[in-house]
Amino acid sequence: NLYFQSMSIRDLYHARASPFISLEFFPPKTELGTRNLMERMHRMTALDPLFITVTWGAGGTTAEKTLTLASLAQQTLNIPVCMHLTCTNTEKAIIDDALDRCYNAGIRNILALRGDPPIGEDWLDSQSNESPFKYAVDLVRYIKQSYGDKFCVGVAAYPEGHCEGEAEGHEQDPLKDLVYLKEKVEAGADFVITQLFYDVEKFLTFEMLFRERISQDLPLFPGLMPINSYLLFHRAAKLSHASIPPAILSRFPPEIQSDDNAVKSIGVDILIELIQEIYQRTSGRIKGFHFYTLNLEKAIAQIVSQSP
């Protein structure tokens, strides 16, 4: 269904009433990996995601692999694809090439991001002159100006605040980022996906602020990461600067922390409860839940099938 596949996430969102999910994948390194992932993605279409997204390596490091996976998925899965695109330290020609190739492959949704410097480097201040993009908002403006309505554009948000400046002693502050999120929405962003979080209260506070200060009805997707192992859960939360509430931590007593199956099954319960609570306490205003899959299938299939 070509028409459905080239719909914007904005329109898809408003057309669907009951709660739904969306799924993020990253491009595998090898061809075999890509083949295996395509099979898994095919199976996961049974979970009826509204859309899937494919990540992009900052600086264009995965450009070919991302474009290959995104185009393949767009053309074979019967699910609209949203490609991530980062802009800092990236020549305009790379951005133009990526956008043109997306458009030619039928992809109509782009998640416009800034990206991070490679570990150990700090190129934000010493940006190459070839890149006209400093912040994500520059990319949103560029896509809207150069491509008009050809692309539906999403942006990132941080319910607990973006971590920039932590090294210099600045605390994460959602209010600081809200100003820049507003700027991205005013530049034409059509939907918003959040960083992963486990603290529902923090998300709900953020959602209220977002509705009050930015938009009553713009699609806002909470980003969720299933808990696949105790170690990875901690690592992902730390990397994403997401806090883990004590009530969640206490569900993993020391004797089960190394039992991956037990951890996974508790993790599934936690995610189901989290989704329920968000859905109910926002009176259904939040109806789409975005999963950082890490290219894994099982936990998400369980969360979806066991959700009431």
**Closer by beta carbon to ligand FAD, 79 or else 113:** 113
Q: Is 147 in the site for ligand FAD (CB under 6 A)?
A: no
Q: Is 242 in the site for ligand FAD (CB under 6 A)?
A: no
Size of the site for ligand FAD (CB under 6 A): 21
Alpha helices in 77-119 (DSSP H): 92-105
**Closer by beta carbon to ligand FAD, 263 or else 275:** 275
**Close Cβ partners of 157 (under 8 Å, ≥ 6 residues apart):** 177, 181, 192, 193, 194, 195, 206, 210, 220
Closest CA to 22 of 282, 275, 241: 275
Q: Exactly one of 108, 114, 141, 287 binds ligand FAD (CB under 6 A); which one?
A: 114
Residue in the block written with tokens 């883990």: 244
Distance, CA of 105 to CA of 24 (rounded, Å): 19
Q: Exactly one of 9, 12, 98, 156 binds ligand FAD (CB under 6 A); which one?
A: 156
- Binding part of the chain for ligand FAD, among 1-9, 132-140, 210-218, 250-258 by CB under 6 A, reads 132-140
- Binding part of the chain for ligand FAD, among 135-143, 208-216, 244-252, 254-262 by CB under 6 A, reads 135-143
**248 CB neighbour count, 10 Å cutoff:** 20
Residue 199 · residue 240 · CB < 8 Å = no
**Close Cβ partners of 49 (under 8 Å, ≥ 6 residues apart):** 20, 21, 22, 23, 79
- Binding part of the chain for ligand FAD, among 6-14, 114-122, 242-250, 271-279 by CB under 6 A, reads 114-122
**Closer by beta carbon to ligand FAD, 103 or else 135:** 135
Q: Is 164 in the site for ligand FAD (CB under 6 A)?
A: yes
Residue 219 · residue 136 · CB < 8 Å = no
Q: Is 64 assigned a catalytic role?
A: no
Identify residues 177-216 at the interface with ligand FAD (CB under 6 A). Answer: 177, 180, 193, 195
Residue of 24, 31, 121, 297 marked catalytic? 24
Distance, CA of 56 to CA of 63 (rounded, Å): 7
Residue 49 CA: distances (Å) to CA of 6, 17, 52, 53, 82: 15, 13, 7, 10, 12
Distance, CA of 273 to CA of 111 (rounded, Å): 28
**Closer by beta carbon to ligand FAD, 160 or else 200:** 160
Chain residues in the site for ligand FAD (CB under 6 A): 55-56, 58, 84, 86, 113-116, 135-137, 156, 162, 164, 176-177, 180, 193, 195, 223
